[in-house]
Amino acid sequence: MITLKEAMQLPKEEIAALREDLKRKIEEQKALNAYVALDERGEGVPLLIKDNIQVKGWSVTCASNILQGYVAPYDATVIEKIEKAGLSPFGRANMDEFAMGSSTESSCYGKTLNPHDPERVPGGSSGGSAAAVAAGIAIAALGSDTGGSIRQPAAFCGIVGMKPTYGRVSRWGLAAYSSSLDQIGPMTQNVEDAAILYDMLAGHDRRDSTSADIDDTPVAPNLNPDRKLTIAVVDNYVKDADSAVQKAYDAAIEALEKEGHTIVRKELMGAKYDIAAYYIVATAEASANLSRYDGVRYGNRAKEAKNLKEMYLKTRSEGFGEEVKRRILLGSFVLSSGYYDAYYLKAMKVRHLIKEEFEAVFKEADLILSPVAPTPAFRFGEMADALQMYLSDAYTVGVNLAGLPAISLPILKTDDGLPVGLQLIGRHFDEQTLFDGAMSLERAVCYKD
Ligand code: GLN
């Protein structure tokens, strides 16, 4: 598939031809179920949009039955921005319901398949975006990352996925899952495309009170893979990972050394605390954010309710899927009186420690290299137990709790042809260094699809 950089140089007629070609290919690959709809707007370079980002006049459903029938009344800031840069929203990508999940199995539209092995998940929650880019039926896509939802599907599908620093990209028009963690970011075929798309998305927005008013010099024109950096590796993270992930890790360290970077060995408290803190904070915020879906203001309303209370109950019982209900229950529990201090407040303290721990590493290192997931793409149904699925987020959620930028890129393929990705994590608002390092790693490992 033509890259985003190349597509942006095409004359108008060729973009039109490209769009037709894409439509044909999407139809041919319908079985992947990466697109939930082929909505189109404008005539620019087509960009696939995750189904939790508002595009005025389009249905936006977050892959949930509760939002069927809802039509976005305004554009998300990122949509305004990409259109200004010559891109056009093209298709809605499948996802886990309300972005809650790591496999895209919880979508009300059914699962998306991994293009490398149809028996395996594409990752999640931005599984449709990742599968489409990997299968050559999208040039690039937008995803959202609350606890790994851009980086993990990117790793499972063998593409590049980047989560910006919290506050870097406006969340205006992104359906909120966990507001203190959510960020929109690019999912692309290579690091340079990710930088190009990131530049379009980044920038202060007064409509999002958590958006940072800070220097946002574009990174793509300044990309420099020849910079020599100090990169921390976290051996204690890797020791519990699958052997394929360890192999990728060793290969990446060797490649980075060959590129002239300095490797320093560090330890992070890691997974156990990250997962516990994350699933308390994320579900607490989700339970509040999802209270707005009550059958009055958005989408679906249950029929034949006798009174208002019954209408709320029926709408939510019928509209939300099992995983979303589990999160609302968990979140309501940790916020309830008597448990707030024991769970929510404690999780906030742990969150603070995680942030401090990262900051200590960044006193000595420019970047951190870490796995994205403990295994390559797993099989459908393999994570039947919710807790098991949560544990697979071990390496991604810490980055969101600390608000750091990170990028996942493909490193190698297993003997079965499954991609293995790793992530680089950067300092707050230092996306330039993150992209420079990622470009260097990409060049050195030479992943070929
Ligand atoms: N898998 C994580 C969760 O279910 C992350 C999801 C995300 O980043 N949206 O919460």
List the catalytic residue out of 125, 126, 129, 392.
125
- Region for 123 from its dihedrals, namely left if φ exceeds 0, alpha if ψ lies in -120 to 50, beta otherwise: left
| Whether 198 contacts 164, CB under 8 Å | yes
pLDDT tens, residue by residue, 309-362: 999 999 999 999 999 999 999 999 999 999 999 999 999 999 999 999 999 999
Number of domains in the chain: 1
Does residue 282's CB lie within 6 angstroms of at least one atom of ligand 1? yes
- pLDDT at position 391 over 70: yes
Ligand 1, residues 52, 126, 149: which to mutate, most atoms within 8 A of Cβ? 149
Query: Considering the domain boundaries, does residue 292 fall inside one?
Result: no
Question: Residue 429's CB: how many other CB atoms inside 10 A?
Answer: 19
Does residue 147's CB lie within 6 angstroms of at least one atom of ligand 1? yes
- 3-class DSSP state of 399: helix
Does residue 393's CB lie within 6 angstroms of at least one atom of ligand 1? yes
pLDDT tens, residue by residue, 231-248: 999 988 888 899 999 999
Query: Considering the domain boundaries, does residue 186 fall inside one?
Result: yes
Query: Considering the domain boundaries, does residue 82 fall inside one?
Result: yes
> pLDDT class for 449, splitting at 50, 70, 90?
low
Within 8 A by CB and 6+ apart from 179, the residues are 171, 210, 285, 289
* CA 191/CA 439 separation, integer angstroms: 6
For the chain, what is the largest distance between any 2 Cα atoms, rounded to a whole number of angstroms? Answer: 70
C-alpha distance from residue 148 to each of 60, 152, 193, 437 (Å): 21, 6, 20, 20
- 3-class DSSP state of 172: coil
170 in active site: no
Ligand 1, residues 51, 52, 125: which to mutate, most atoms within 8 A of Cβ? 125
Once rounded to an integer, what is the mean pLDDT over residues 203-222?
97
pLDDT tens, residue by residue, 218-233: 999 999 999 999 999 9
- pLDDT at position 447 over 80: no
Does residue 99's CB lie within 6 angstroms of at least one atom of ligand 1? yes
Give the model's pLDDT for residue 237: 87
pLDDT tens, residue by residue, 393-402: 999 999 999 9
- pLDDT at position 446 over 80: no
Provide the total of helices (H) and of strands (E) in the chain, helices listed first: 15, 11
Query: Considering the domain boundaries, does residue 134 fall inside one?
Result: yes
- pLDDT at position 270 over 90: no
pTM to 2 decimals?
Answer: 0.98
- Tell me how many degrees the CA angle 381-34-382 measures, rounded to the nearest 5: 10
C-alpha distance from residue 133 to each of 21, 26, 85, 256, 259 (Å): 15, 11, 20, 26, 28
Give the Å distance between the CA of 270 and the centre of ligand 1.
17
Strands 35-40 and 160-163 come out as: unpaired
pLDDT tens, residue by residue, 11-47: 999 999 999 999 999 999 999 999 999 999 999 999 9
Once rounded to an integer, what is the mean pLDDT over residues 56-61?
98
Indicate the angle between helix axes 243-258 and 431-445, nearest 10 degrees.
100
- Tell me how many degrees the CA angle 116-119-124 measures, rounded to the nearest 5: 75
Residue of minimum CA distance from atom 10 in ligand 1: 100
Q: How far is CA 264 from the centre of its chain?
A: 28
* CA 170/CA 89 separation, integer angstroms: 17
CA dihedral 285, 289, 293, 298 (to 10 degrees): -150
- pLDDT at position 448 over 70: no
Q: Which atom of ligand 1 is nearest to the CA of 102?
A: 1
Residue 375's domain is classified under what CATH number? Answer: 3.90.1300.10
Tokens of 161: 């996925």
Query: Considering the domain boundaries, does residue 325 fall inside one?
Result: no
Q: Which of 205, 217, 198 is nearest to 167 (CA)?
A: 205
Give the Å distance between the CA of 150 and the centre of ligand 1.
9
Query: Considering the domain boundaries, does residue 284 fall inside one?
Result: no
* CA 38/CA 15 separation, integer angstroms: 17
pLDDT tens, residue by residue, 109-137: 999 999 999 999 999 999 999 999 999 99
129 in active site: no
Query: Considering the domain boundaries, does residue 317 fall inside one?
Result: no
Once rounded to an integer, what is the mean pLDDT over residues 284-312?
94
- Residue count of the chain: 449
What is the residue range of 212's domain? 4-268+355-445
Give the Å distance between the CA of 145 and the centre of ligand 1.
7
Give the Å distance between the CA of 105 and the centre of ligand 1.
12
Q: Which atom of ligand 1 is nearest to the CA of 149?
A: 8
In the chain, what percentage of residues exceed pLDDT 90?
A: 96
What is the rounded average pLDDT for all residues in the chain?
Answer: 96
pLDDT tens, residue by residue, 131-181: 999 999 999 999 999 999 999 999 999 999 999 999 999 999 999 999 999
34-65 burial code (b ≥16 CB/10 A, e <16) = bbbeebebeebbbbbbbbbbbbbebbbbbbbb
List the catalytic residue out of 149, 178, 408, 440.
149
125 in active site: yes
Give the Å distance between the CA of 202 and the centre of ligand 1.
22
